[in-house]
Amino acid sequence: MFPAALVNLFIPAKCIVCGQTLLKDERHICLNCKADMPFTYYNLYADGARPVANPMADAFNVLVQKEMEDAPYEPYVPAVALFFYQEGYKNITQALKYHGNIPAGRYFASLLAEKLSACGLEGLDAVIPVPLHWKRRFKRGFNQAQVIASEVARILGAPLRTDILYRRSSTGTQTRLSGEARTANVVGAFGARPGRFVASGSGTIGPKILLIDDVFTTGSTMYACYSALKASYPAGRIAIATLAFVP
C-alpha cells in the first residue's frame, strides 16, 4: 500500500471508473462518472418501510429465515449497498481488493457512511468487518472490508471492533461456486467471541451491530458472519452494508 501511495505522487490521477485524467478538484472519480454513479438508494428505506425494492435485503433475509427456522422471531435485517456492481464501477471494489488502492476504498466508504448516517443506524455498539483468514490477510497486507468498516465507523462515530468476529478456516475462493455451494462452503467458517459488550441499562437489549463487507453477491459470507454473531449475541440487532451489490 505504501508503494502505491508513492506511485500516485508521480502519475497523474485517473478516474477509477473511466480512466480519464482527473481534474484538479476531482478525487478518485471524475465528475461525469460520479454524476452517473449507479447508487442503489437502499439506504432511504433501510428501516423496513420500503416503497422501493431492495433485492439485497430480500436475498439476505431469505437466508436468515431459511436457516433460522427454529428461532422464535428474526427481525428483518436492514441491508444497504452504496452502488450496483456494474461495468466500470466494479473497478472501485477491484482497485481496493486486488490493487491495494486504500485511499479510493476510504473515499467510497465515506460516501457509504454518508448514506448510512441518515437511515436509523445511529447508536451503533460496533462496526464489524467481515474478517479475512490471517493467512490471506498476511498475503494481501490488509483486509478490504476493514478499510471500509474503519472509515464508516469513524464517520458514524461508532466503535470499530475487530476482536469479536474471527475466521476459523481458510475457505477456498468463492467465485467459482454456485449459490448453494457458497453457503455450504462458509457455514461454520466464522466464530464470534461472546461477552465482548458491556451490558446496556436493562441488560436485555442486545448490541447494535453493523456488519461490513466490500461486495454482496449471494450473501452467504455475510450470512455466515451473521449467524456466528447471533450464536454469541442472540439479542443482537444486526444490519449489513457493502460498497457494491451484484444484482
Which residues sit at the interface with Zn ion, rule CB under 5 A?
15, 17-18, 30, 33
Q: Which is nearer to Zn ion, 22 or 155 (CB)?
A: 22
Distance, CA of 230 to CA of 206 (rounded, Å): 10
Q: Which is nearer to Zn ion, 25 or 70 (CB)?
A: 25
> Residue 138, class by beta-carbon neighbours within 10 Å (0-12 exposed, 13-18 middle, 19+ buried)?
exposed
In the complex, the smallest distance separating the C-beta of residue 32 from Zn ion, rounded to whole angstroms, is 6
Q: Which is nearer to Zn ion, 13 or 119 (CB)?
A: 13
In the complex, the smallest distance separating the C-beta of residue 157 from Zn ion, rounded to whole angstroms, is 32
Q: Which is nearer to Zn ion, 17 or 241 (CB)?
A: 17
Sign of the torsion angle spanned by Cα atoms 143, 149, 155, 158: negative
Q: Give the burial string for 148-159 (b: 16+ CB within 10 Å, else e).
A: bbbbbbebbebe
Q: Which is nearer to Zn ion, 20 or 200 (CB)?
A: 20
In the complex, the smallest distance separating the C-beta of residue 92 from Zn ion, rounded to whole angstroms, is 11
In the complex, the smallest distance separating the C-beta of residue 19 from Zn ion, rounded to whole angstroms, is 7
In the complex, the smallest distance separating the C-beta of residue 89 from Zn ion, rounded to whole angstroms, is 10
What cell was used for 3?
508503494
Q: Give the burial string for 68-92 (b: 16+ CB within 10 Å, else e).
A: eeeeeeeeebbbbbbbbbeeebbbb
Distance, CA of 141 to CA of 143 (rounded, Å): 7
Q: How many C-beta atoms surround the C-beta of residue 130 within 10 A?
A: 23
* 52 to 41, 49, 56, 219, 247: CA distances (angstroms): 9, 9, 12, 20, 15
Q: Which is nearer to Zn ion, 22 or 119 (CB)?
A: 22
Distance, CA of 241 to CA of 148 (rounded, Å): 10
User: Tell me, what amino acid is at 191?
Assistant: G
In the complex, the smallest distance separating the C-beta of residue 52 from Zn ion, rounded to whole angstroms, is 26
